[in-house]
Amino acid sequence: MGCGVFGAIDFNKKPVFPYLYWGLRAENHRGHQSHGFLTYNGKNFHLYKNLDLIPKLNSNALQKWFGQLPGYMGIGNVRYTTSGKCDDKSLLKGTQPIMGSIDDLKVALSFNGNIVNTLELREEVKTFFPEFNYTCDSDIVCYKLLLELYKGKSLSSAIKSCMINLDGAFSVIGITGNNDFFAFKDQHGIKPLCAGHNSDESIYSFSSETVSFDINGFTRAFELEPGELVTVTKNGFNREQLIDNPKKAFCAFEYAYFARPDSIFNNKFVYEIREQFGRNLVKEFPEIATDADLILSVPETADDPAMGVHEESKIKWERASRRHRYVTDRAFILLDKERSSTIDRKINILGSKMSGKKIILTEDSIVRGDTTKVIISKLRKYGVKKIYMYVTFPRIIGPCFYGIDMATYAQLIGSTHSPLEIAKIIGADAVCYQSIAGLVSATGHDHKDLCLACITGEYPTPKAQKLADYMKYKFLSGYEEKNRIYEIEDNGL
């Protein structure tokens, strides 16, 4: 699940819900399908879940939520599903936070990521918990941790077992019935998770993105390392490296699309990196810039690259594409049947500004090609003479098994088509992808420290690599993928 997670603890024992609410409002771009809050008052867990975006609250509603969610410690989640079913009943059931208990043990988790080896883990969990009912992979993470604790292991040892046995991406914030407040990352650190606190260090917090600290007036302290567990006491953060010499593989797609532009990763604002993507594209495809009259961006994740293209090329960035402010859905994370109609309504293009022009259209990525095709069709109707695509994320050739819902080869236009073929399919005059080297350079990471699996075919976890290779062979041999390939029983694992 490509979700947003947030959690906080107030050692002055004041209600923590307001921080959870605003922290997740700042991360609602990470998940539109459902949201949930869980608080703990030292005795009981209090849970609220619902579908859709986190709602606006008036003063009366806020007081009601205070009553439902008492406690000085809490976690929350906004969900974008990449496992399980997508009907409303299943979505609500799979909404996080997830709770699990046995005897006197209680655990609650908010999870961002995706587990590859769920089929084998389900069998292991069912051996100890016969009533276990799998809805999505967050259930696996919660009950695997509960199982290890039930065996008598310490929290550190139990989490280390999870890190070793779960293949995939997981950034987790948790609470136990023993008043533990903690967070941890998988041994590759694929998904973001950072730690912060308020000015007098009476409130400590974990978050997917730094914007949730900003909205609460907190200060970012650090990004969790791969394979690291962080627990919290009134004296601050306790950091414990559970996996020695981990191989870092931070998700590169966060930089191109998923993260908010005002978040900080690798000590850089995301928007600055996206601007550099635009500059890189001009340097890599100067002949396109020489021929173009105007720059147009697909709002909003391609706005920052458009600024970079403008700065490098000196071509005017025509702000003639605008997002309808209250159409809040992010098209990429919608279901297939909803995506094209939403993008058609969401983006307003001022056709009179484009007629007869040769334009550079900046876009963050091309995954399926369907939303891009809708926009290009609109531009053609408005009489645009030529459309050159500058795409910041390199051509996607393989599925993601780590929390982005592009989980089959068949749905990826780049898995079987060259840039020239893609241009013809979507109706563009040219599709120019930023190089992998350009992407890596702009982020400031070393190549080896990024997960580039969907654009290189090289996966950081062994079972994901085995799954990708096996299913690619089947796909190229004519196999029809009818579900996410890590949820198919005959997937080679």
CB 98 within 8 A of CB 50: no
Quote the CA–CA distance of 360 and 434 in Å, as a whole number. Answer: 14
- pLDDT over 90, % of the chain: 73
Mean pLDDT estimate for the chain: 91
Predicted pLDDT of residue 343: 65
Q: Beta strand 181-185 with 228-233: parallel, antiparallel or unpaired? A: antiparallel
User: Cβ neighbours of residue 316 under 8 Å, at least 6 residues apart?
Assistant: 293, 294, 295, 310
Instruction: Classify the phi-psi angles of 403: left when phi > 0, otherwise alpha if psi is within -120 to 50, otherwise beta.
Output: left
Q: Is the pLDDT of residue 127 over 90?
A: no
> Which CATH number fits the domain that encloses residue 52?
3.60.20.10
Q: Is residue 481 part of a domain?
A: no
pLDDT band at 79; cut points 50, 70, 90: confident
Q: Is residue 170 part of a domain?
A: yes
Tell whether 300 and 198 lie within a shared domain.
no
Predicted pLDDT of residue 307: 98
Q: What is the pLDDT of residues 174-197, one digit of tens each?
A: 999 999 999 999 999 999 999 999
Q: Is the pLDDT of residue 161 over 60?
A: yes
Predicted pLDDT of residue 394: 98
> Which CATH number fits the domain that encloses residue 409?
3.40.50.2020
Quote the CA–CA distance of 55 and 35 in Å, as a whole number. Answer: 10
Mean pLDDT on 393-422: 93
Tell whether 238 and 329 lie within a shared domain.
no
Tell whether 350 and 225 lie within a shared domain.
no
CB 112 within 8 A of CB 4: yes
Q: Is residue 391 part of a domain?
A: yes
Q: What is the pLDDT of residues 22-49, one digit of tens each?
A: 999 999 999 988 999 999 999 999 999 9
Tell whether 295 and 426 lie within a shared domain.
yes
Quote the CA–CA distance of 332 and 363 in Å, as a whole number. Answer: 12
Could you give the number of structural domains in the chain?
2
Q: Which residue has the higher pLDDT, 10 or 86?
A: 10
Q: Which residue has the higher pLDDT, 155 or 477?
A: 155
Q: Is residue 255 part of a domain?
A: no
Q: Is residue 196 part of a domain?
A: yes
105-115 β-sheet, strand order: 98-102, 105-115, 168-176, 181-185, 228-233, 236-241
Helix, strand, coil percentages for the chain (3-state, nearest 5): 35, 25, 40
Predicted pLDDT of residue 407: 81
Tell whether 117 and 234 lie within a shared domain.
yes
Tell whether 209 and 352 lie within a shared domain.
no
Tell whether 58 and 136 lie within a shared domain.
yes
Mean pLDDT on 159-178: 97
Tell whether 432 and 368 lie within a shared domain.
yes
Predicted pLDDT of residue 336: 56
Predicted pLDDT of residue 327: 72
Mean pLDDT on 197-205: 97
Q: Which residue has the higher pLDDT, 478 or 452?
A: 452
**Least confident piece of the model among 242-246, 290-294, 345-349:** 345-349
Q: Which residue has the higher pLDDT, 271 or 125?
A: 271
Supply the range of the domain harboring residue 49: 4-248
Mean pLDDT on 218-228: 98
Q: How far is CA 238 from the centre of its chain?
A: 26
Tell whether 233 and 291 lie within a shared domain.
no
Q: Is the pLDDT of residue 486 over 80?
A: no
Residues annotated as catalytic (active site), given as ranges? 3
Q: Beta strand 268-269 with 450-451: parallel, antiparallel or unpaired? A: unpaired
Q: Is residue 125 part of a domain?
A: yes
Tell whether 239 and 280 lie within a shared domain.
no
Q: What is the pLDDT of residues 234-260, one digit of tens each?
A: 999 999 999 999 999 999 999 999 999
pLDDT band at 123; cut points 50, 70, 90: confident
Tell whether 279 and 242 lie within a shared domain.
no
Q: How large is the angle between the packed helices 118-128 and 137-150, nearest 10 degrees? A: 40
Q: Is residue 477 part of a domain?
A: no
Degrees, nearest 5: CA angle 72-75-77: 150
Tell whether 230 and 309 lie within a shared domain.
no
Instruction: Classify the phi-psi angles of 313: left when phi > 0, otherwise alpha if psi is within -120 to 50, otherwise beta.
Output: alpha
Q: Is residue 108 part of a domain?
A: yes
